[in-house]
């Protein structure tokens, strides 16, 4: 059951489909939850960590196409869940999900998808779908699963067309914590599970725009005490906690939309000379707070194999000794900081070697920096863990 350029007759045995806003229907075999869900179709090139990908809040309102053909092989378990809030609504895979083969597996991926309310579609020519996204951009679509194979295609097309899309959409407020939380979990080790936080200083206040749990574990691993606050926490609420530094998390949606309430707070933190470290959405809003702009990308960056180079900038910025080195990073973003709009007081510290887009900034005269990628990985390489140590170690 391969990608079709139009809306063909439903093949025998098709129990799922993905319907694009232009009317294209892609048939397959449904798994996981039954029903339908609307979102933007993207693709992820990671070969491992599908459960972590599917529970990353940065994927809220998105349908993930996995380019790696074998998804679900190692099953699922509670330890690999990165967040229990809204995240990806569904996924598209090439091969049918097989019986799991891994000593950590506690249930089949299909069972976990069903319990999590996420829709899966297998038997799809994911290479063709990925090429379509690369050529024409990430489309709006509806993914649907009905074991009886009954679908109202015109209604699904209409729903995909009516959905407004991610541009201009604030999703951080939907996926953020509703109240303050003292983080207690430490780094995971095989055979031991997650450790406990023990430090009392330095104190990092992390703003949750749609965070992954591994972010906080890495802050703890670097030696910090972590308090997590909601996305709409005010400057006064943050400062009442007497932070030694503030962390701005990843998250979904349009940074300009979330920035309507988040950027004024970040600007106040900058004026107060509070040390700041932002990643992904947090990085984008830090850039906006400093005077830059963000743009919607054609296809986005999503995967665990993205090369990023540290580039030289003025002495005193803290990166000169490592300029030119390349990190292989984990990424998940559909918006980017427009490097051409960076004001003179903001230096570009990292760039993508795939397309040259901005992947890092530092603000002159301030203890504030950000990166576009996910240094906490989960899934992905560990090349960028040093950023947590750089941030926490600089808090004194």
Cβ 131 vs Cβ 97: under 8 Å = no
Which is the catalytic residue, given 301, 333, 350, 374? 374
Cβ 73 vs Cβ 102: under 8 Å = yes
Tokens 């750089």, residue located? 390
Active site residue 91: no
Token digits of residue 50? 């599908």
- DSSP for 139-161, please give it: PEEEEEE-TT----HHHHHHHHH
Token digits of residue 241? 């906690």
Active site residue 374: yes
Cβ 1 vs Cβ 14: under 8 Å = yes
Which is the catalytic residue, given 280, 301, 306, 347? 280
φ/ψ of 328, rounded to 5, equals -95, 125
Parallel, antiparallel, or unpaired for β 294-310 and 326-337?
A: antiparallel
Token digits of residue 132? 């379509």
Token digits of residue 80? 């690999």
Give the residue from 114, 58, 57 showing the smallest Cα distance to 83.
57
Which is the catalytic residue, given 82, 327, 347, 376? 376
Contacts of 263 (CB under 8 A, 6+ apart): 285, 288, 289
DSSP code of 218? H
Round to whole Å and give the CA distance between 255 and 235: 19
Active site residue 301: no
Token digits of residue 293? 């702009």
Token digits of residue 139? 């489309």
**C-alpha radius of gyration, the chain, whole number:** 21
Cβ 392 vs Cβ 224: under 8 Å = yes
Other CB atoms within a 10 A radius of the CB of residue 201 amount to: 10
Q: What residues act catalytically?
A: 280, 374, 376
């Amino acid at each position: 059951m391969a990608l079709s350029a139009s809306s063909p007759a439903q093949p025998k045995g098709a129990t799922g489909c993905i319907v694009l806003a232009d009317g294209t229907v892609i048939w397959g075999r449904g798994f996981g939850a039954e029903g339908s869900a609307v979102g933007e179709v993207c693709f992820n090139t990671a070969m491992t960590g599908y459960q972590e990908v599917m529970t990353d809040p940065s994927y809220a309102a998105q349908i993930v196409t996995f380019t790696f053909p074998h998804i679900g092989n190692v099953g699922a378990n509670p330890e690999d869940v990165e967040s229990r809030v809204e995240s990806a609504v569904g996924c598209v895979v090439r091969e049918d999900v097989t019986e799991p083969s891994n000593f950590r597996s506690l249930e089949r991926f299909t069972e976990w998808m069903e319990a999590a309310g996420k829709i899966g579609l297998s038997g799809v020519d994911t290479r063709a779908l990925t090429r379509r996204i690369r050529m024409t951009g990430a489309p709006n679509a509806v993914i649907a699963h009905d074991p009886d194979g009954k679908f109202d295609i015109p209604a699904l097309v209409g729903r995909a067309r009516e959905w407004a899309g991610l541009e201009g959409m604030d999703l951080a407020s939907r996926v953020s914590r509703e109240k303050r939380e003292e983080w207690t979990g430490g780094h995971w080790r095989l055979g031991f599970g997650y450790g406990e936080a023990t430090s009392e200083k330095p104190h990092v206040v992390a703003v949750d725009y749609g965070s992954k749990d591994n972010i906080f574990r890495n802050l703890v691993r670097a030696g910090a005490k972590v308090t997590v606050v909601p996305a709409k926490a005010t400057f006064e609420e943050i400062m009442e906690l007497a932070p030694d530094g503030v962390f701005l998390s990843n998250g979904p949606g349009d940074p300009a939309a979330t920035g309507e309430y988040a950027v004024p707070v970040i600007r106040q933190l900058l004026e107060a000379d509070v040390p700041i470290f932002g990643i992904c959405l947090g990085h984008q809003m830090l850039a906006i707070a400093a005077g830059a702009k963000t743009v919607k990308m054609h296809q986005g960056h999503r995967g665990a194999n993205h090369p990023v180079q540290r580039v030289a900038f003025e002495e005193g910025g803290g990166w000169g000794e490592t300029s030119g080195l390349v990190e292989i990073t984990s990424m998940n973003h559909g918006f980017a900081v427009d490097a051409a709009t960076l004001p003179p007081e903001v230096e570009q510290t990292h760039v993508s070697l795939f397309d040259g887009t901005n992947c890092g900034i530092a603000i002159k005269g301030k203890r504030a920096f950000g990166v576009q990628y996910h240094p906490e990985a989960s899934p992905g390489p560990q090349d960028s863990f040093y950023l947590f140590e750089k941030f926490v170690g600089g808090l004194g």
